[in-house]
Amino acid sequence: MAKHTCENCGKEFSQKSHYTNHKNRKNPCVTESKLKEIIQEVIEEKIQELSSSIAIANTFEEPIQKMKMKMKMKIKIPKKIETNQPFTFIEVCAGGGGLSAGLIKAGLHPILLNDNNADCCKTLKKNHPNSNIVLGSMEDIDFTQYIGKVDLLTGGVPCQSFSQAGLRKGLDDPRGNLMLKFIEILNLIKPKIFMIENVKGLLTHDDGNTILRIIETMNSNNLYNITYQCLDASKFDVPQKRERVFIIGVLKSINIPFTFPCESNTKKILRDVLVDVPPSNGASYSEEKKNLFRMIPQGGCWVNLPENIQKEYMGKSYFSGGGKRGILYRLSMEKPSLTLLCSPSQKQTERCHPLEERPLTIREYARIQTFDDDYEFIGSINSQYKQIGNAVPVELAKKMGLSIVQLLQTTL
């Protein structure tokens, strides 16, 4: 087949009509050498433009560098704050570790955890193996080594005996001496913040005089700005109605007020936590009590029994009046738990499982107190119940810890 070749670009066509169209198109083809020539011209043109730009930039380079030097001289760059070392705390009367566990979660580091109960100290050592755990009375500890090294001094120090009411011995009571010892430690090591937690009853104890006397004694050296507040754990992501008083003191030299944590927008209930609980030991009921609880709905108590059984079970107290709603009380999955106590099955303060006729187990107790499932308790069943029942809920302690850390960060 005849081929037609373009003399400009060398392209071949098998049909003459295609060749003719190619020759007569609006933009004629060019030879390869011509194309290279055009490309080279474009490149040289761009190089020329770039060279001109560089020349202009070089003209201003020296003034620009001088301006940068002046700006560096005028602008003071803030020194970066190194926070590799965490904030530290000491806890006395630490118990089974609810408060310390929460503070650790908030980012605080324990340099001393102390309690006079052997099981509590074993529990603390089990869960904080690298911490300094001291068994014994805080009165026997040399705190001089901690002067200037502590950000927070805290503890569940007994407060009620710090009173002159009625037949109480007040400061002659050994527990009252613990409060005096705490104040002595406070004035010695002078932490930036101190915190004491106690039961709600402290606010009304001795007609309110006890807490005022505590604050007055703590502030005898005029070192701290002191405030206190009663917090309900159920408003801070804890599935339990549990009210605790927190007394907080901040060094006056810091001159920053402590801000208590904000309440949560939602409320946790037992349905949120009593699911997939790890198996554990627990107390049990007699068959007679199981039969009674089978007649009581969730959130109910002895008043839900038939009247004849009420009279038989309650005896003379049936006619004495008063609420007594803690007797034969069954928890509800749709509500927070009532305050967990040191024993899950005392007659006046029953805490029956919502769905089964039995007390709560050790791990269920711990779940409601917001301990992690891997937090282990050492000792007999009764000892473990007591450690958990006396603890500050971990989540509430964490929220208090976060507020403390926030304040401490402003002191850096």
| Cα–Cα distance for residue pair 395/238, rounded to 1 Å | 6
E strands along 62-192, which residues? 88-92, 109-115, 133-135, 152-155
- Closest residue by Cα to residue 101 from 382, 311, 400: 400
Catalytic residue of the set 159, 262, 342, 352: 159
User: Is 352 a catalytic site residue?
Assistant: no
DSSP 146-164: GTT--SEEEE----TTS--
Torsion sign over Cα 135, 215, 260, 273: positive
Q: Which of 394, 106, 101, 396 lies closest to 261, judged by CA?
A: 396
Specify the pairing of strand 133-135 against strand 4-5. unpaired
Residue 95 Ramachandran class (φ > 0 left, ψ -120 to 50 alpha, else beta): left
Q: Are 376 and 80 a contacting pair, CB within 8 Å?
A: no
* Alpha helix segments (H runs only) across 260-353: 287-293, 307-314
How, if at all, do strands 193-199 and 243-251 pair?
Answer: antiparallel
CB atoms inside a 10 Å sphere around CB 275 = 9
Looking at the annotation, which residues are catalytic?
A: 159
